[in-house]
């Protein structure tokens, strides 16, 4: 299988600058060579064209930079759809989580997929519930058919892109009040840190995988590095204390890999400005390797 690396240097969806440098930081952490060491053919497709904030205007404070985010979303959707159609594996590097409006849509073109969303946040706000107007807090709601019509549709495609019953959010610990109502109404599975602490990552992931993998053509993994505790991943756009350990995140990726259903992956919200010695980007690379099958020991005990 060929892995297509697709960079999306966007920070328009976030409230803090710097995650637009995430794709470069992840590449710098030897992403391509480590994937090749696993035996994959790897092609770096470069970066999707993204306008910088200085070129864009906030025309709606509840949907900041929407006029620049829509064309970016269309471009990334096209690139991911092309990759999946060629039976390759798109590995999308961010950049803020608004990029998933396009990446997940592209993976879902002409197929039914489940989504595992590993994140400190649910990203299920709409213009009516958002406290910030930052679109990186909305992509999962948009993919489930909720929110601003121009972002939900992008083109004249059927909506929702993802059946909400095929979405599982893992590691959530910072939800807005209106967002909780949206999640409840949609019937999305949310397995927060409380459930992980109570039952363990294996039990939580098995339930999530069982939920999203039934009657689908594949699973898409969107991994926001702020799912990790800031002690492990300090260089993220929106850090939240009391998150996943490094080992828990590896285990989640390993369990998803074992399904043999993974068709694409996002690595988002790496902010090298806030990092130390590229620690968070290097960790992102390690998670990608786990999701793509790397194990320390594959023999019998």
Which is catalytic among the residues 4, 96, 123, 248? 123
Q: Looking at 121, 163, 250, 266, which residue is catalytic?
A: 121
Question: Quick check: is 250 catalytic?
Answer: no
* Cβ count within 10 A of residue 202: 13
Q: Cα Rg for the chain, rounded, in angstroms? A: 17
Residues 6+ positions from 295 with CB-CB distance below 8 Å:
254
Known catalytic residue: 232?
A: no
Q: For residues 43 and 88, give the distance between their C-alpha atoms in angstroms, rounded to a whole number.
A: 10
- In the set 4, 20, 119, 229, the catalytic residue is 119
119 among known catalytic residues: yes
* Active-site residue, from 97, 179, 229, 248: 97
Which is the catalytic residue, given 226, 248, 254, 275?
A: 226
Sign of CA dihedral 50, 171, 81, 84: positive
> Choosing from 136, 174, 232, 275, which is the catalytic residue?
136
| 136 among known catalytic residues | yes
Of 224, 248, 254, 266, the catalytic one is: 224
Q: What are the CA-CA distances from residue 140 to residues 71, 260, 286 (Å)? A: 18, 23, 24
Task: State the Cα–Cα distance between residues 103 and 101, nearest whole angstrom.
Answer: 6
Rounded to a whole number of angstroms, the distance between the first and last alpha carbons of the chain is: 29
**Active-site residue among 4, 96, 269, 275?**
269
Give the other-Cβ count within 10 Å of 121's Cβ.
Answer: 25
For residue 174, indicate whether it is catalytic: no
Nearest residue to 122 via CA among 107, 100, 103, 102? 100
Residue pair 120/174 in contact (Cβ under 8 Å)? The answer is yes
Q: Which residues are catalytic?
A: 97, 119, 121, 123, 136, 224, 226, 269
């Amino acid at each position: 299988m060929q892995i297509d690396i697709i960079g999306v240097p966007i920070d328009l969806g976030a409230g803090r600058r710097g995650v637009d440098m995430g794709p470069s930081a992840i590449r710098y952490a030897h992403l391509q060579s480590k994937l090749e060491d696993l035996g994959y053919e790897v092609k770096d497709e470069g970066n999707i064209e993204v306008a910088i904030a200085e070129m864009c205007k906030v025309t709606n404070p509840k949907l900041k930079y929407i006029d620049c985010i829509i064309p970016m979303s269309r471009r990334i959707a096209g690139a991911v759809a092309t990759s999946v159609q060629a039976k390759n594996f798109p590995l999308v590097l961010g950049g803020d989580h608004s990029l998933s409006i396009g990446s997940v849509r592209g993976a879902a073109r002409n197929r039914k997929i489940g989504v595992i969303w590993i994140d400190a946040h649910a990203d299920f706000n709409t213009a009516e519930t958002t406290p910030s107007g930052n679109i990186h807090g909305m992509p999962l709601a948009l993919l489930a058919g909720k929110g601003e019509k121009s972002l939900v549709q992008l083109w004249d495609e059927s909506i929702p892109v993802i059946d909400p019953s095929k979405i599982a959010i893992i590691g959530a610990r910072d939800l807005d009040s209106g967002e909780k109502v949206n999640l409840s109404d949609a019937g999305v599975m949310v397995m927060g840190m409380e459930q992980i602490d109570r039952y363990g990552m294996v039990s939580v992931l098995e339930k999530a995988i069982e939920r999203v993998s039934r009657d689908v053509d594949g699973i898409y993994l969107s991994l926001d590095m702020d799912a990790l505790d800031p002690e492990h991943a300090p260089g993220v756009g929106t850090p939240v204390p009391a998150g996943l350990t490094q080992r828990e995140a590896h285990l989640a990726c390993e369990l998803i890999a074992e399904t043999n259903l993974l068709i694409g992956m996002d690595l988002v919200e790496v902010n090298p400005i806030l990092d130390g010695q590229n620690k968070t980007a290097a960790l992102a690379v390690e998670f990608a390797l786990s999701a793509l099958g790397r194990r320390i020991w594959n023999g019998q005990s």
